[in-house]
Chains A and B, each alone.
Chain A
Amino acid sequence: MASRDFVYKKFSEFYSNPSTVTPQLSMIGQRELGFLLFKERVMVRHKSFESMSSLKRFLSETVPSDVYHSCAYYENPEAEMSKKGWLGADLVFDIDADHIPTPCDKVHDEWTCTNSKCGFSGKGITPEACPICGGQKFETKTWACELCLEAAREETAKLIDILEKDFGFSHQEMRVFFSGHRGYHVQIEKDAVKTLDAMARKEIVDYVSGIGLSILEDEAKGKTQKRRRSTPFHLHNFGWHKRLKLGLQSFIMRATKDDLKNVGIKGNYAAFLENREVLLKRCIEENRWDSVRGIGVGTWRKLAKYVQSLEAAKIDTVVTTDIHRLIRMSGTLHGKTGLLKVEFPAKSLEDFDPLREAVAFKEGTARVSVSEAPEFRLGDNTLGPYKNQVVELPTAAAVLLICKGRAEVAQ
């Protein structure tokens, strides 16, 4: 409990410190605010605030572990859901390493079967079922390594590219945030998108994810539903077709035999590997897709399907289509890490260092007893790995490990 108290104290100091800057929440009076309470661990919803100063007072008095606001605007933000009077909602995208396959394979995550008779535990991606008792409920301890964050950044870059080139949003119109844990948020507050309903947002999700591309379907329905024919493969130079073309180009340039196998192409490797130039020029550039013997419609479609999965931005689909969603507020602390949700310009995504910019507790140290932690970095400090040892850590690192359930305050 002492550890929880320690974190609470740090959060409390942060929210009462007059030098803490909480960025302005646009249209604050029309939004619903929600808070996860530290001690009670319950969610308090349907709150609203007239101004930032009243919200800040509330934060310093209540000290929530997590602060959320609605993407939606309401006539009565405090009313129950059906009486709120929905006026519109920002268009939001959530990219979280949880939803993305990452090169680290999440080796740093731990899971424990919650079956009281079993309690088996392991590392890595949580299995569907416990290998010992077959139970399907687990308690997990996650971690956000640099590879996870990098994977999330790459997905965010793809998303921003699609939103900019295809949807025409400028970098100024896209507000980009590090979530304070394992991912990024992109938020658009433009009037033209505020009134889009859930179905319209679903179409945007499908676009960003490349879901429903008819060019990737093997068969198209003929005029009479019974007769089926293979649709010809042809790509034009716009929208998703252009993305597929660019993706195919870069795949063809660097593909190895193993890559081809992975994509599911059988046998005709030579036709492929010896004809790269022709494939690039005649097929892709000149749109003569059947000009290499042995590489037909089926092969192109397989390649294009693979490329689609590479080009798609892997967002959490549910977040974008939910027009009442609560989302973490910028400038507040994440209860699972003690890191801040921070905004940064879309154009600096490449150079943004989340493990530096999101650090909230920059002063002091604390002695903690660490059960287990991989090597990690916060700002300029590279720390760990630790196993069953007592160490003196910078405050931010101590808070992170405690929040992650990997350490306790040393007695």
Chain B
Amino acid sequence: METGRFTQTDLAKYPFLKETAKLVKQLGLKIEEVANPDMAVILNRAEERVREAILSISVGKKREANVEIPSFPVALMLVIATKNSFIKRRYALAEAKQAFSDMQAESSEKILAIARDFDWNIELNRDFAVPLEFAVSFADYLRNTTHLRDKKWKLVNRLLANGKVYLNKQDVTRLLQEEVQRRIEKRLEATELPALPEKIVEIATRLLELAKESIGQEEMEGFPKVVTQSAFPPCIVALYEAASKGRHLSHIGRFTLTSFLVNIGMSPEKVAELFKSFSDYNERLTRYQIEHIAGERGSRTRYTPPQCVTLQTHGVCVNPDALCRRVRHPLTYYKRKQRQFSSSLPKAS
């Protein structure tokens, strides 16, 4: 393996790299020692990392490598100790964004080295006809873009030739940001915790309090219990009408409609009613399928409807309206529209 691709400064800047992890291992940092007074500067920096992530999706000002490097694994430990999924996501995002911004100033070779730390199949583009610096395998590209919303990330809008997607530095680093976020989220998945020093628990509790203050209520809100038909997105309106008239629905159409209705709080009995007018209606089977989707049977997973992009691919998306342009999931549409209604209603006193 190539060693020495990264300097000490790099390792401090990109603490999520495999090489940094190796270095930390060599340092032999012990959990019990973290609470020692001579480690205070590291512990403080670790807390700052998480605090800044919660408050402003950043990780605060950098220190010298000998503080910066060990503060990352300690910060991970603090986040795990909060046992809070919001903090986990938020912290991973903050570190990833910081990495993205730091990578802007790096040389192409350094970018290659970081990408290869994530096992990417990437090389510098040698085809002068293409004015883009990097060539990345389409599989690595797809793994990191399917969550990105902007149309420019769709593979169909990219330069794809011979299995390689051609990208500039800005785009490559944006994809690496996704990669960093996933790697950190993965490290935060650990649920089995060793006995933690009191000091750590204390800080974790403090961070949790902070998070609770700054999480908007919106995050916690579920769906109101009343089904508001006028808030259905156009695709669901079309499916709903087709179903109530007994018109044939594709498999994915039925699934979308059922999972949508179940998720907004309609009872399986009520949903089954809707499918009654189908000529191939079979009560027992229909009930079974609906309860399966609702998570009352089988794998006990409650299924949600597919995302808008998936519905587009399979031809279920019809008559998108202005609100559709701003959401990427039929349930989000419903939630927003419903909120619009309730805010425009006169307040009952």
Whether A114 is near chain B, meaning CB under 8 Å from some CB there, is yes
Find chain B residues with CB under 8 A from A318 CB.
Answer: 251-252, 314
Report the Cα distance A33→B97, complex, angstroms.
45
A178 vs B251: C-alpha distance in the bound complex, in angstroms? 25
- Whether, in the assembled complex, A111 has its beta carbon less than 8 Å from a beta carbon of chain B, the answer is no
Q: Which of B145-171 contact A (CB under 8 A)?
A: 145-147, 151-152, 154-164, 166
Are A82 and B298 in touch, CB under 8 angstroms? Answer: yes
Q: Which listed residue, A82, A137, A196, A202, touches B313 by the CB 8 Å rule?
A: A202
Against B, the Cβ 8 Å flags (1 = close, 0 = not) of A81-116 are 110000000000000000000000000000000110
User: With A136-B247, A192-B137, A238-B161 in contact, is A203–B314 under 8 Å at CB?
Assistant: no
Query: In the complex, what distance in Å separates the CA atom of A202 from the CA atom of B279?
Result: 32
Contact A204 B155, beta carbon cutoff 8 Å: yes
Complex Cα–Cα for A165 and B164 (A): 10
List, in ascending order, chain A residues with CB within 8 A of B164's CB: 168
Smallest CB gap from A113: residue in B: B279
Please name all residues of chain A whose beta carbon is closer than 8 Å to the beta carbon of B212 when the two chains form the complex. Answer: none
How many chain-A residues does the 8 Å CB contact rule pick out?
41
A382 to B246: give the CA distance in the assembly, Å. Answer: 43
Residue of B139, B252, B310 with most chain A CB atoms under a 10 A cut-off: B139
Q: Bound state CA distance, A215 and B161, in angstroms?
A: 18
Closest approach, in angstroms, between the C-beta of A273 and any C-beta of chain B?
Answer: 31
A205 in contact (CB, < 8 A): yes
- Contacting residue for A192 out of B139, B248, B298, B313, CB 8 A: B139
Q: Using CB atoms, name the residue of chain A closest to B139.
A: A192
What residues on A are CB-neighbors of B247 within 8 Å? 128, 136
How many chain B residues touch A (CB < 8 A): the figure is 41
Of A39-47, A206-214, A324-332, which binds chain B?
A: A206-214
The contact string, 1 if C-beta is below 8 Å from chain B, for chain A 15-51, is 0000000000000000000000000000000000000
Contact pattern, A 182-221, Cβ under 8 Å of B = 1, otherwise 0: 0000000000110011011011111101111111000000
Task: Write the nearest CB–CB distance from A132 to chain B, whole angstroms.
Answer: 15
Which residues of A lie under 8 Å from residue B137 when comparing CB positions?
A: 192
Q: Are B299 and A82 in contact (CB under 8 A)?
A: yes
Q: Does A167 count as interface, using CB distance less than 8 angstroms? A: yes
> CB distance A206 to B154 under 8 Å?
yes
Q: Find the residue from A81, A202, A210, A236 having the highest chain B CB count within 10 A.
A: A202
> Contacts A136-B246, A168-B164, A317-B314 hold; do A213 and B156 have CB atoms under 8 A apart?
yes
Contacts of A192 in B (CB 8 A): 121, 137, 139
Q: Tell me the complex Cα distance, A200–B310, Å.
A: 11
Interface string of B126-138 (1 = CB under 8 A from A): 0001100000011
B23 is an interface residue with CB less than 8 A from chain A: no
Question: Nearest-CB distance from B249 to chain A (Å)?
Answer: 10
Q: List 14 A-B contacts (CB under 8 A).
A: A114-B279, A166-B161, A168-B138, A168-B163, A193-B139, A200-B142, A203-B145, A203-B154, A204-B142, A206-B156, A212-B156, A212-B312, A239-B160, A321-B313
* Chain A to chain B: the 6 pairs with minimum beta-carbon distance, closest first: A168-B163, A82-B299, A137-B279, A199-B146, A200-B142, A168-B162
List residues of chain A with CB under 8 Å of any chain B CB: 80-82, 114-115, 128, 135-137, 165-169, 192-193, 196-197, 199-200, 202-207, 209-215, 236-240, 317-318, 321
Known: A169-B163, A196-B139, A199-B147. 13 other contacts (CB 8 A): A81-B298, A165-B161, A165-B162, A192-B121, A192-B139, A197-B146, A202-B146, A203-B142, A203-B155, A210-B156, A213-B156, A213-B157, A240-B157
